[in-house]
Amino acid sequence: MTTPFSYLTHLECSHCRQNFEANRVQTFCPACQTPLLACYDWHAAAACLHRDQFQTRRKGMWRWHELLPVQDEAHIVTLGEGDTPILPLPRLGEDFGLERLYLKDESLNPTGTFKARGLSAAVSRARELGVRRLTIPTAGNAGGALAAYAARAGIPAQVFMPADTPSANIEESRIVGAQVTLVEGLISDAARLSVEAARQNGALDVSTFKEPYRMEGKKTMGYEIAEAFGWHLPDVIVYPAGGGMGLAAIWKAFGELRRLGWLEDEHLPRMVAVQASGCAPVVAAFEKRAATCEFWQNAQTHASGLRVPKSFGDRLILQTLYESNGLAVAVSDEEIQQAQQQLARREGVFAAPEGAANVAALHRLRERNWLTPAESVLLLNTGTGLKYLR
Amino acid sequence: MTTPFSYLTHLECSHCRQNFEANRVQTFCPACQTPLLACYDWHAAAACLHRDQFQTRRKGMWRWHELLPVQDEAHIVTLGEGDTPILPLPRLGEDFGLERLYLKDESLNPTGTFKARGLSAAVSRARELGVRRLTIPTAGNAGGALAAYAARAGIPAQVFMPADTPSANIEESRIVGAQVTLVEGLISDAARLSVEAARQNGALDVSTFKEPYRMEGKKTMGYEIAEAFGWHLPDVIVYPAGGGMGLAAIWKAFGELRRLGWLEDEHLPRMVAVQASGCAPVVAAFEKRAATCEFWQNAQTHASGLRVPKSFGDRLILQTLYESNGLAVAVSDEEIQQAQQQLARREGVFAAPEGAANVAALHRLRERNWLTPAESVLLLNTGTGLKYLR
């Protein structure tokens, strides 16, 4: 029996569980207005695949192709994303009294951020399904990533971003040939224009959570973490949540690994969402134990990727926090800036402000005694600080 | 018998072949004023190591540790460098009528450039040998890399760079805590100040080719290329030569692989050095079949990494070109800029101008019929374009 290139079977609404056909272009559940999740034949996958076989394949996220949505290898659009390093942080750990502190450095991706994973998956699948044009609303880095992968695929792309997005995001999108529209307002305003452009031009809008395959790319962070930790997951994962898809995607990955029987034990990490105090809808909802977020008015933060007033996947983010016994924490821009310097000076990593926010959050978590010294704690740095220089 | 962590034996002058002890701090040959090369026990290494055993190790350049200089794993200073992707460039290949065109994208390294490899090796070895302070003269990216690795190691660092170096290089060096001195002039002027500071402060000057271990880090590009191409090397490798160490280091790696008997055949690539027409000492020397370069007066180019009037390793660079039946080519800043856009739009890679210079050089090589359509051609992109934004 030959094993398929992908075990993808169908899509499922994350709320009402209605099934959707995977072999045509899908967006989100029209009834619930919630994201669709990609489903796989886990029974067959568990029978045919072994967790160790992925290790010897060529590096990059596509070595997990059986658990990703693309059906035909020829459709993969890659720039070498994935398999970013996991670095021990002994000196920063000392500062916080944490013996096992780690950083997964997603800045070592194409376009310098974790957004590469999601857009590699989305653009690959879009090409496979015959999509001729792509649009995206973005707080910055996702736009740069879409633009790059669309160029690589030869598919025209339109990027909508706030006019005050870091200029590196504007430049990187333009140089690869995307049509960039600067929007007075926030990503929520850009989102409306992206939907409208998609409708007018027959394009696919690959907005966070409104397209089901970006999440599949992002979940490979979870696979890599499990593999790197010997299939015994860390105690705590700290993640900066703007759109929050990475957080939900890593959680999805852990669920999948459990179904596959690849984890050494039943131990799952407590997931922490970090937001900026000037835009903290997830923190506000979490503190009320709400199922969804309210739109955050007058969102403001220099960590542009965290300037997302309401995520389309808010329900999934909050579920992740509740199910994992996690937490949501807000930190100020001043704390982020100090933390960025602390991480840089102590460990040599020049992180994006979103990534540095995790270090700021560590202060809070230690103050509250929410972390104990011997727990293993993994921070995600979502991107390079180079993109935020003035 | 246990295998050693490293097979390093001694250092050797690249010119007079005199031997130098490896277990103390060394710089260059005082008699010849030429670089020292790291030597290994190739006999033992060939007997004990197998080329396939490196594939299953954790990703990154240190998986080749037996062939690198660090003696004790605990001294390795890593930020996850190495194992950058090799991407086929089908659309750009079409533009040039080349069927097998590839890019090794070194921008997916810590600090966004290939400099990470060399400085990871140099700082690790400096720590191992008890060095307490580091200095470097730089055209830009090497300074950022030294600063990051020194921070990670907890070793103070001083960086000397031209005042008109791209601001990203200045900022990335400062945020990780290096002491940055801006110099009116070129890297050659910065070099004098770095030597002087090293003398005054008892620091080690890790200037290109004046310290023997940066080259060892860089040579891992050659190992990765050989492995990725199934130990059958490409026909042509195109490399932007400022200091030119990467070019010589890749050539050193191929020689080592040949000694180890790991290559499938005797076929070695023709090595091409690309320079900017405003600073082309290697091209000038190559055209005269000279053994060394003359200092290039009034060096000027926007590709700051190529603004090196005379490399301390000029002899090794030229040897590489002659031995490999290679070539040296100069391209203008206008051609570089156009090539940067072509690579970005066709393949989605936003390369540094130095990396884009290779694409500009392809035009020349095809015009001259120096390349035939079926030859496999590998371009090195040395860094990310993000660092050059104004």
B138-148 residue pLDDT tens: 988 999 999 99
Taking contacts as CB-CB distances below 8 angstroms, the residues of chain B near A94 are none
Taking contacts as CB-CB distances below 8 angstroms, the residues of chain B near A349 are 79, 110, 148, 152
Rounded distance between C-alpha atoms, residue A102 and residue A92, angstroms: 9
The model's pLDDT over B161-179, given as tens digits with 9 standing for 90+, comes to 999 999 999 999 999 999 9
B230 touches chain A (CB under 8 A): no
Rounded distance between C-alpha atoms, residue B207 and residue B159, angstroms: 10
Enter the tokens of residue A330.
Answer: 């807000």
Q: What is the mean pLDDT of residues B76-103?
A: 98
DSSP A19-67: EEESSS---EETTTTEEEEEEE-HHHHHHH--GGGGTTSPSSGGGGGGG
| Percent of chain B as helix, strand, coil, to the nearest 5 | 45, 20, 40
Looking at this protein, which amino acid is placed at residue B279?
C
**pTM, whole model, 2 decimals?**
0.97
Chain B: closest CA distance from residue A50 (Å): 15
Rounded distance between C-alpha atoms, residue A341 and residue A338, angstroms: 5
Q: Is the pLDDT of residue B2 over 80?
A: no
Q: Helical H runs in chain A? A: 42-48, 90-96, 115-128, 141-153, 167-175, 187-201, 214-228, 245-260, 281-287, 314-323, 333-347, 353-367
A244 touches chain B (CB under 8 A): no
Helix (H, G, I), strand (E, B) or coil at A333: helix
**Which of B78, B112, B177 is opposite residue A345, by nearest beta carbon?**
B177
The pLDDT assigned to B301 comes to: 95
DSSP B215-271: HHHHHHHHHHHHHHTTT---SEEEEE-SS-HHHHHHHHHHHHHHHHT-SSSS--PEE
Taking contacts as CB-CB distances below 8 angstroms, the residues of chain A near B344 are 151, 175-177
**Which of A79, A84, A348 is opposite residue B148, by nearest beta carbon?**
A348
User: What's the angle, vertex CA B31, arms to CA B42 and CA B309, rounded to 5?
Assistant: 90
A309 touches chain B (CB under 8 A): no
B351 touches chain A (CB under 8 A): no
The pLDDT assigned to A56 comes to: 87
Residue A372: what are its φ and ψ, rounded to 5°?
A: -105, 155
Q: Is the CB of residue B251 less than 8 Å from the CB of residue B324? A: yes
Taking contacts as CB-CB distances below 8 angstroms, the residues of chain A near B109 are 108
Enter the tokens of residue B74.
Answer: 């605990």
Q: Is the CB of residue A389 less than 8 Å from the CB of residue B168? A: yes
Write the ipTM.
0.96
Which candidate, B275, B361, B333, B359, places its Cα nearest to that of B284? Answer: B275
Mean pLDDT for chain B overall = 97
Q: How many helices (H) and strands (E) does chain B have?
A: 12, 14
CA distances B286 to A89, A305, B86, Å, are 46, 49, 29
A348 touches chain B (CB under 8 A): yes
What burial letters (b/e) apply to B316-354, b meaning 16+ CB within 10 Å?
bbbebbeebebbbbbbebebbebbbbbbbbbbbbbbbbb
Which candidate, B61, B63, B82, B7, places its Cα nearest to that of B38? Answer: B7
The pLDDT assigned to B56 comes to: 87
Rounded distance between C-alpha atoms, residue B6 and residue B10, angstroms: 12
**Which of A80, A112, A167 is opposite residue B85, by nearest beta carbon?**
A80
B173 touches chain A (CB under 8 A): no
Enter the tokens of residue A97.
Answer: 């009294």
Name the residue in chain A with its Cα closest to that of B227: A58
Q: Is the CB of residue A234 less than 8 Å from the CB of residue A270? A: no
Which candidate, B235, B277, B274, places its Cα nearest to that of B352? Answer: B274
Enter the tokens of residue B148.
Answer: 């990051």
Looking at this protein, which amino acid is placed at residue B58?
R
Per-residue confidence band for B123, with pLDDT thresholds at 50, 70 and 90? very high
The pLDDT assigned to B344 comes to: 98
The pLDDT assigned to A1 comes to: 58
B51 touches chain A (CB under 8 A): no
Contacting B residues, span 82-111, partner chain A, CB-CB under 8 Å: 83-87, 91, 105, 107-111
Residue with tokens 């982020």: A336
Interface contact B79-A87, CB threshold 8 A: yes
The model's pLDDT over B228-278, given as tens digits with 9 standing for 90+, comes to 999 999 999 999 999 999 999 999 999 999 999 999 999 999 999 999 999
Site from A172, A386, A388 to mutate, B interface, most B CB atoms within 10 angstroms: A386
A60 touches chain B (CB under 8 A): yes
The pLDDT assigned to B151 comes to: 98
Per-residue pLDDT of chain A (390 residues; tens, 9 = 90+): 578 999 999 999 999 999 999 999 999 999 999 999 999 999 999 999 999 999 989 999 999 999 999 999 999 999 999 999 999 999 999 999 999 999 999 999 999 999 999 999 999 999 999 999 999 999 889 999 999 999 999 999 999 999 999 999 999 999 999 999 999 999 999 999 999 999 999 999 999 999 999 999 999 999 999 999 999 999 999 999 999 999 999 999 999 999 999 999 999 999 999 999 999 999 999 999 999 999 999 999 999 999 999 999 999 999 999 999 999 999 999 999 999 999 999 999 999 999 999 999 999 999 999 999 999 999 999 999 999 997
Name the residue in chain B with its Cα closest to that of A109: B108
- What percentage of residues in chain B have a pLDDT greater than 90? 98
Interface contact A85-B91, CB threshold 8 A: no
Enter the tokens of residue A379.
Answer: 């921070």
Interface contact A151-B348, CB threshold 8 A: yes
**Which of A147, A167, A347 is opposite residue B151, by nearest beta carbon?**
A347
A380 touches chain B (CB under 8 A): no
Per-residue confidence band for B158, with pLDDT thresholds at 50, 70 and 90? very high
Interface contact B85-A87, CB threshold 8 A: no
Size of interface A-B (CB pairs under 8 A): 135
The pLDDT assigned to A379 comes to: 98
Q: What is the mean pLDDT of residues B322-351?
A: 98
Which candidate, B160, B144, B222, places its Cα nearest to that of B388? Answer: B144
Helix or strand run (H / E) with residue B88: strand B86-88
DSSP B101-164: EEEEEGGGSGGGBTHHHHHHHHHHHHHHTT---EEEE-SSHHHHHHHHHHHHHT--EEEEEETT
